[in-house]
Chain A
Amino acid sequence: MKAELRQTMVETLMEETEKGAEIVVLVSDSTSTSKISPFQEKFPRRLINVGIAEQNLVGAAAGMALGGMIPVTANAAPFLVSRSNEQVKADICYSKTNVKLIGLNPGFAYGSLGPTHHSIDDISVMRGFGSISLFAPQDPREVRNVFLHILGTDGPAYVRLDSLSCENLPGTEGVFTPGKISIHREGTGIALLCLGTAAHQGMAAAAILEEKGISATVAGISSIRPLDREALLSLLGRHDTVITVEEHSVHGGIGSLVAELAAEESLPIRLKRLGVPEGEFAPASPPEAIRALYRLDADGIASTAEDLVKSVTRRIS
């Protein structure tokens, strides 16, 4: 059954608050962005709006954590990560406060609103900070599981949360294990490694490739930190051709992560990183157009995979 990911977040927050968790949700005029109204109606005192003031949003969350509560911030990822960058670094990560930062509508979800509203650097920035767990859940089931995990675990966490309405993916069943790589589909010809919800495009691409006789593995990275390094190594060891897919800059996201691991472990893989190219802002265009431009949609991923597989075959023959 389809569900909207933010709605799943709000439902999970409400369930846990009802069970007695000292949750407080902080927004910066982002009540509609976060779809938080049902929570606000049920727990009006637990919704704090600080106005359009992202530094105060994050600093205040740190203070509320130090005061014994479980603060969850909910605003657009670009403003969270960029505008409150030093508060995230010092008050949350360095001070190790029990704050859950939710970056909404990441990547280029805001499309035509342009690069001020795009967040193609959040994983890159957050990977540079110590102490904080980083998650990018892929489907409704995983959103719920990630929230249950972070609300029940002391320490800072960042969740990159899309506004997508989608079905659950095969491979996210069962208990959520931080660090785990989800295998949505096992193939032999090529591996498509996707960040968060990009796995849905990866699955559609795999279906196209199947018709062309190419067997693709589709795997999802939803836990960037912690990361099950051995599981990722095992996956990379089973494939000689790998494509990373992310609505993020190719700098500092999962493309970088895989490249770093492959280089450190001298893995003989051919790697193509799909994302926003190094040194570019994505254009102010609808998300579908940006996906098509950077070959991040199903057709683009499939054609990239096909080209790559063919070129590898040519090289071998």
Chain B
Amino acid sequence: MKNKHLLSSSELQERARRIRRKIIEMNSRAGAGHTGADLSETDILTTLYFHVLGVDENNPEACDRDRFILSKGHGAGGYYCTLAEAGFFEESWLATYLQADSRLPGHPVRQKTPGVELNTGALGHGMPVAFGLALSAKMQNKSWKTFVLLGDGELAEGSNWEAAMAASHYHLDNLVAIIDRNTLQLADRTETIMSLEPLEAKWRSFGFEVFTGDGNSPEELLKIFSKLDFTSGKPKLILARTVKGKGISFIEDQAAWHHRIPVGNEVFAAIKELE
């Protein structure tokens, strides 16, 4: 299945700006959310859903769809706003985010939200599941691809490396892992909490083809996606260098905005920066 939008990089930029506005409105209305993570991943998700992924919003469970797993489940807000923008459900659902019995809970739930493949939230789960998905596609001679978006902080979970080892062992060139590398986690800088670098070398040594670029630039992301060779016998790792809270000057690159949401005048100021 092909992506039906195939937006250009400038169109993706504009789309990402709209999605960011939705995130700010949704989180401030809900009074909670992971604003920093939502804004960090926006350009990656926009590029995936509006240019890369072969998915169908009218048939979210189509057998030949590409699979996407949001391993960093706390980025649910950015994910929901992207899915709504792509037509997977009514935009009015966004007003119910985090409410009792909402179709949009704090972390993704596949039984509730069209387009969601796995219930995430606990970290370190996406890679093993993505490995299993990609392996099942190979075993059944299916051409669909598996994409998984990882947070950088969650790379301290050993399960990621178990799956990375196995993906390489089974030559899963149909698996694309993307790291939202914003260098911040809940408490502080990733490198202060637990050194992750040298990430490129680590993934290469696990047998991955590694691509690095600006994860907040649809133009750079498109260039990387166009280079992926799905016949190379090797799984892929995209190290997407991002800024947590990207797009809003007073939110950018601060651990304090992991959980924070804009309130009062901050909402107007944030929206103004996105106009």
Contact = CB atoms under 8 A, between A and B. Distances in A.
Contacts of B131: 56, 59-60, 63
Contact of B136 (A63, A89, A91): A63
A63 B162 contact: no
Given A51-B165, A87-B159, A64 B136 contact: yes
A60 B125 CA distance: 10
Interface in A22-56: 22, 24, 45-46, 48, 50-51, 53, 55-56
Contacts of A58: 128
B176 to A, nearest CB: 14
Interface in B165-212: 165-166, 169-170
B133 interface: yes
Most chain B beta-carbon contacts within 10 A, residue among A45, A50, A56, A66: A56
B158 interface: yes
B133 A59 contact: no
A225 interface: no
Given A51-B165, A69-B140, A87-B159, A59 B135 contact: no
A63 B139 contact: no
Contact of A62 (B118, B140, B146, B170): B118
A63 B130 CA distance: 6
A59 B125 contact: yes
Contacts of B135: 48, 60, 63-64, 67
Most chain B beta-carbon contacts within 10 A, residue among A51, A61, A66: A66
Nearest to A94: B119
Nearest to A89: B122
A121 to B, nearest CB: 20
Contact of B140 (A53, A67, A71, A91): A67
Main secondary structure of the interface of B (DSSP, over half): helix
Contacts of A17: none
Contacts of A96: 111
Contact of B63 (A22, A48, A51, A68): A68
A90 B71 CA distance: 12
Contacts of B158: 55
Contacts of B127: 59
Interface in B126-157: 127-137, 139-140, 142, 146
B191 to A, nearest CB: 25
Contacts of A59: 125, 127-129, 131-132, 159, 163
Chain B interface bracket (under 10, 10 to 19, 20 to 34, 35 or more): 35 or more
Nearest to A58: B128
Contacts of B119: 90-91, 94-95
A170 B122 CA distance: 45
B117 interface: yes
A46 B121 CA distance: 30
Contacts of A51: 162, 165-166, 169
B2 interface: no
A60 B128 contact: yes
Contacts of A63: 128-136, 146
A60 B63 contact: no
B154 to A, nearest CB: 13
B250 to A, nearest CB: 35
Interface in A62-91: 62-69, 71, 86-87, 89-91
B102 to A, nearest CB: 17
Nearest to B126: A59
Contacts of B133: 63-64, 66-67
A91 B125 contact: yes
Contact of A67 (B111, B120, B136, B166): B136
A68 B169 CA distance: 22
B151 to A, nearest CB: 16
A130 to B, nearest CB: 12
Nearest to B117: A66
Contact of A60 (B111, B129, B137): B129
Contacts of B110: 95
Contacts of A24: 136, 139
A90 B121 contact: yes
B108 to A, nearest CB: 10
Contacts of B136: 24, 63-64, 66-69
A142 to B, nearest CB: 29
A66 B130 CA distance: 10
Interface of B: 63, 67, 110-111, 117-122, 124-125, 127-137, 139-140, 142, 146, 158-159, 162-163, 165-166, 169-170
Interface of A: 22, 24, 45-46, 48, 50-51, 53, 55-56, 58-69, 71, 86-87, 89-91, 94-96
Given A59-B129, A68-B136, 13 more contacts: A59-B127, A59-B128, A60-B129, A60-B131, A60-B135, A62-B128, A63-B131, A63-B134, A64-B135, A65-B132, A91-B119, A95-B110, A95-B118
6 contacts: A48-B170, A62-B118, A63-B130, A67-B137, A87-B125, A96-B111
Question: 7 closest A-B pairs (Cβ-Cβ)?
Answer: A63-B132, A59-B128, A67-B136, A60-B132, A56-B162, A53-B162, A63-B133
